[in-house]
Amino acid sequence: MTAPLAAIVYSSGFPIDALMAEVADSLKREAVRLGGVVQHNRGDCPDGCASMALEDLASGRLFPISEDRGAGSAGCRLDPAGLAAAGAAVAQALTGSIDLVIVNKFGKQEVLGQGLRAEIAAGVVAGLPLLTAVRDDMLVAWSDFAGEDWQRLPPEAVAVTDWAMAALRLPA
Q: How far apart are CA 18 and CA 38, in angstroms?
A: 9
Query: What integer pLDDT is reported at residue 75 of this predicted model?
Result: 47
Query: Does the pLDDT value for residue 86 go beyond 90?
Result: yes
Strands 34-42 and 100-103: parallel
Query: What integer pLDDT is reported at residue 66 of this predicted model?
Result: 87
DSSP string, 121-154: HHHHHTT--EEEEEEGGGHHHHHHHHTT--EEE-
DSSP string, 59-83: T--EEE-B----TT--S--B-HHHH
Residue type, 129: P
Query: Does the pLDDT value for residue 32 go beyond 50?
Result: yes
| Alpha-carbon distances, residue 32 vs 6, 98, 124, 139 (angstroms) | 17, 8, 18, 28
**13 pLDDT tier (thresholds 50, 70, 90):** very high
Task: State the pTM of this model.
Answer: 0.89
pLDDT in tens, 52-83: 999 999 999 999 998 765 555 554 467 888 89
What is the average per-residue pLDDT within 90-95? 92
Query: Does the pLDDT value for residue 129 go beyond 90?
Result: yes
Pairs from 72-75 (Cβ < 8 Å, separation ≥ 24): 72/47
**4 pLDDT tier (thresholds 50, 70, 90):** very high
